[in-house]
Amino acid sequence: MRVLTVTEVRRHLYWAAGGPRASAGGSPSAALLGQLFHDLYAALTGRDPQSNLAAPLELADAAESAWRQALIDHAFTAVVAPALARHESALQTHGAAVLAFWAAAQELCGWLAGLMHAQRAADTTRSLDTLRRELFAATEVELELELTDERWPEPIRLHGRADAVLTRLADAQQCLVELKLGRTHPEADLLQGCLYRLMLAQRGPADTALALVSFEPGRRETVFPAARLREAERELKDLLGELVGFEAPAPGAPAAAAAANALPSEQRMAVDVAPLPAGGLEEIRRKLIAAFTEYGAPIDMADEVLCGPAFIRFLATPQRGVSAARLARLAENVWMRIGSKQPPQVGLYKGRVTIDVERPDRQAVNFSDWRARLAAPAPVGSARFVIGVAVDGVLHAADLSQSQCPHLLVAGTTGSGKSEWLRAFLASLLAVNTPATLRLALIDPKRLAFGVFERSPFLWQPVVHDEGAVALLDRLIDEMERRYALLSAADADDLARYNETRVARAETPCARIVCVCDEFADLVLRDKTTRVAVEERVARIGVKGRAAGIHLVFATQRAGREVLKGTVDANLPARVALKMPRKVDSRLVLGEPGAEALLGRGDLLYKDIGAPIRLQGLLTTREELAALAGETPSTRTAGSR
């Protein structure tokens, strides 16, 4: 049986529908504000008499407008103001988003007041708290569904949590409600709502209605008829089959086809990884099955096993009544039984539960082993860089010119492999570019990382240390504005198109500039003046740099909130997380835990859009990097095949 979460399906639905650029009107909401919005709904409709809506409505006049205003006042005092105060540091640079959130919160209060007013009109004998309890039947509803299809070799089990279920007093009809803050995409929202409706049907009447209520910040409410829901449910099945790898996209299922194209940019290149002896694999498999069974969570293991350079991935199916979340909670208990150096990591991949166990004979992946297979530098250059090797032996790469990863944050504690990853990143760019197509702006507060570049022809400006960082960022901003003028005059959307035109006319291309700072924390923690100056410049380059071919890559050993303040966090969308000391650090970098359980020495999680992917970084020596940094264009072109 394959296992999927609704979060995983939603992610694919969203990007299949075109991502942010295809969304409906309104302002995109930050993840934190979205969570606060759902917390507000839960507080107003929940059981706590100090925060729910019953008491303020009892004290208000009978008119619906009076109820609306009373609920707005109560929501601000009891819920919104304390929440914003708790998260002041994270939201201090998101003033417009906070104002949109408050406007949406007022719309939510008006909607809830209207629902309650209609309930009171239908029954004046019961208390408002009783009506609240009956109307808002459930919040954050845990759901599970097992789906089968004649085209599938095995069932798919789905786990999820719906926002709310409402019950109409007049006829006891239930309505499933999905609440959205900010931009939404109607097709993606519909398919997600249908998924919840299928899951809810396992618990009660099959004719549950579906309402999508979005606050952008104005309220938009859509109720879907049964015929449209049945049609969407057929599309949803096609997508689910594709996500777990059962079948190719079905004809006439555009959402499924688009989802396949919406995965992060990657360069597929097989990398040889030494297999583990069969006897060793069977011994680990046997220990895992026995350990999970001992703790009351029996699993079935697939025959397929993936041996990566750093860990072995076993594919498991929980037996009935066992959830993937429960298996994850048991990871440290199982660790004692299998005898590995690090606890196993439990996750989900293509609908299967994955159990990653560290290899006893860990392999290194050397940059030199695959460099000869890279293409020679092109006339317009390349913005692609290597990230690492996946457990299936595929080398993943990304592209700085793409909107999902124009700027990167690299974080990892001592011994995690952060410096080695930066060397591989730089080496992969240098190997496919010449000084005419790539220039580096390097900030080295510790004066240790970029010594090999001191006389490199790839340098855009001399390597600077902490005292010259702000001036270097100012020069990058000046260059960015100059390039925007050139792009406008040439009627080009970005640097790549501008360079294509120049090369076609036998003119010199405009070099892409990559600014790398090895220890960002040392830079911003010196004093408040430097921090503010750096953050202001990061914000400007973060918004406009990609089209002009100017990119930021900031690395840090310290991933605390004092380093990753709102401006920096918002303007470095792609993340490379190596081993972290704590779960909270992983959450700050990736938005979720996981990096604290990595193995170190290049074991990493990469995230731009979608879920993080686990990879092993490449090992590049200082000598290799020095050779690439000092080569002439003619030498490199001859030696890259």
Tens digit of pLDDT for each residue in 84-101? 988 887 777 677 788 889
Residue 329's pLDDT band, with cuts at 50, 70 and 90, is confident
Element (H, E) at 69: helix 64-75
The answer, yes or no, to whether residue 596 has pLDDT greater than 50, is yes
Helix (H, G, I), strand (E, B) or coil at 70: helix
Residue among 162, 132, 157 nearest 55 (CA): 132
Higher model confidence: residue 169 or residue 359? 359
The answer to whether 131 and 119 have CB atoms below 8 angstroms apart is yes
Q: Six-digit token pair at 303?
A: 């025959």
Higher model confidence: residue 292 or residue 173? 292
Q: According to DSSP H, which parts of 491-565 are helical? A: 495-504, 520-524, 528-548
Residue 625's pLDDT band, with cuts at 50, 70 and 90, is very high
Residue 554's pLDDT band, with cuts at 50, 70 and 90, is very high
Residue 288's pLDDT band, with cuts at 50, 70 and 90, is very high
Out of 146-160, 175-189, 544-558, least confident range: 175-189
Residue 26's pLDDT band, with cuts at 50, 70 and 90, is very low
pLDDT at 570 (0 to 100): 81
Count Cβ neighbours within 10 Å for each residue of 518-540 and write b for 16 or more, e otherwise.
bbbbbbbbeeeebbebbbebbbb
d(CA 127, CA 131): 6
Mean per-residue pLDDT for 605-609? 88
pLDDT at 257 (0 to 100): 32
Q: Tally the residues of the chain.
A: 641
The answer to whether 361 and 276 have CB atoms below 8 angstroms apart is yes
d(CA 439, CA 268): 26
Higher model confidence: residue 250 or residue 603? 603
Chain segment 360-410, per-residue pLDDT in tens: 888 888 998 877 666 678 888 899 999 998 888 888 889 999 888 999 999
Q: Which residue in the block uniquely carries the two structure tokens 């924390």?
A: 521
Report how far Cα 186 is from the mean position of its chain's Cα atoms.
21
Out of 67-71, 178-182, 558-562, least confident range: 178-182
Q: Which residue in the block uniquely carries the two structure tokens 């009783």?
A: 130
How many helices (H) and strands (E) the chain has is answered by 24, 19
The answer to whether 324 and 349 have CB atoms below 8 angstroms apart is no
Q: Which residue in the block uniquely carries the two structure tokens 């007041």?
A: 113
d(CA 216, CA 37): 12
Out of 25-34, 147-156, 387-396, 430-439, least confident range: 25-34
Residue 77's pLDDT band, with cuts at 50, 70 and 90, is very high
pTM for this model (two decimals):
0.64
Residue among 195, 127, 625, 562 nearest 420 (CA): 625
Chain segment 481-522, per-residue pLDDT in tens: 999 999 999 999 899 999 999 998 989 999 999 999 988 888
d(CA 80, CA 100): 13
Higher model confidence: residue 639 or residue 476? 476
pLDDT at 203 (0 to 100): 61
Out of 317-326, 347-356, 543-552, 594-603, least confident range: 347-356
3-state secondary structure 169-188: CCCCCEEEEEEEECCCCHHH
Residue 302's pLDDT band, with cuts at 50, 70 and 90, is confident
Mean per-residue pLDDT for 290-297? 92
CA atoms within 13 A on the CB side of 470: 13
DSSP 88-116: HHHHTT-HHHHHHHHHHHHHHHHHHHHHH
Higher model confidence: residue 264 or residue 476? 476
CA-to-CA separations, 586 to 81, 88, 337, 592, 595, in angstroms, rounded:
27, 20, 27, 6, 5
Q: Six-digit token pair at 511?
A: 């070099």
The answer to whether 514 and 400 have CB atoms below 8 angstroms apart is yes
Domains of the chain, earliest start first:
2-254 (3.90.320), 278-358 (3.30.980.40), 367-633 (3.40.50.300)
Out of 4-8, 409-413, 427-431, 461-465, least confident range: 4-8
Helix (H, G, I), strand (E, B) or coil at 421: helix
Question: Average per-residue pLDDT in the chain?
Answer: 81
Chain segment 535-551, per-residue pLDDT in tens: 899 989 998 999 999 99
Chain segment 129-158, per-residue pLDDT in tens: 998 888 887 776 677 778 888 878 888 877
The answer, yes or no, to whether residue 209 has pLDDT greater than 80, is no
